[in-house]
Amino acid sequence: MQVEIWSDVVCPWCYIGKRRFEAALDRFEHADEVEVTWRSFELQPDGPAVPEGTMVDRMAARFGTTRDAAAARLAEMDRTAADAGLTFRLADTRGGNTFTAHRLLHLARRSGHGGALKEAFLQANFVDTEAIGDPDVLRRIAVSVGLEPADVDEVLAGDRYAEDVRAEEAEAGRLGANGVPFFVFDRALAVPGAQGSDVFLQVLEEAWARSHPEVTVGE
């Protein structure tokens, strides 16, 4: 069974949704027959590679509030992440343009490291508060999960996989995704948002039943 997940590495709900989906997959009887593919989606495609300040600074400026008030709002998301087993430091995150990260994820997918790099990028952004748009940061992380340095350097130096990223983003729109995370099961069922693990388990079971109908043999 194929599960495609459109998400961004600077989307907090995407990381939370990933953990909730993984919790459901752990309980799914046919988990070893599920192939997960991470698809590209940018929340801020026009954003700078490395923005100034941190998330709390930008939120305070955007909403015209104090840093303390902004930090309190972000702390609520930290607590939600904690319920999913994640240790967010959302106020301190630096963020950044994720187009290059998505191009590297395409490279990783082709060498069997897609899932590992996705997790590493999410952790780098939300837990380690690294600048996820910084090429040096991206290179170090990509190499750390097993990608060949020469291949990583080729992607960073040019526009390899740019068309692949744009194509997946366009496909998300055609499938009805106007936000992320967005989960598609066997191109038959779609689930928007970071649903609870029970919901994901139910959809996994329904998708499996659709693709593996019971056959009744008469006498």
The total of structural domains in the chain comes to 1
> What's the pLDDT at 192?
98
The pTM (predicted TM-score) of the whole model is: 0.95
104 part of a folded domain: yes
159 part of a folded domain: yes
- C-alpha distance from residue 192 to each of 50, 99, 139 (Å): 29, 22, 31
24 part of a folded domain: yes
> What's the pLDDT at 30?
98
Q: Domain range for residue 36?
A: 2-51+94-211
129 part of a folded domain: yes
77 part of a folded domain: no
Q: What is the pLDDT along the chain (219 residues), one digit of tens a residue?
A: 999 999 999 999 999 999 999 999 999 999 999 999 999 999 999 999 999 999 999 999 999 999 999 999 999 999 999 999 999 999 999 999 999 999 999 999 999 999 999 999 999 999 999 999 999 999 999 999 999 999 999 999 999 999 999 999 999 999 999 999 999 999 999 999 999 999 999 999 999 999 888 766 665
151 part of a folded domain: yes
CATH of the domain at 118: 3.40.30.10
> What's the pLDDT at 213?
81
> What's the pLDDT at 44?
94
Cβ atoms of 166 and 55 within 8 Å: the answer is no
Phi, psi of 27 (to 5 degrees): -95, -5
44 part of a folded domain: yes
161 part of a folded domain: yes
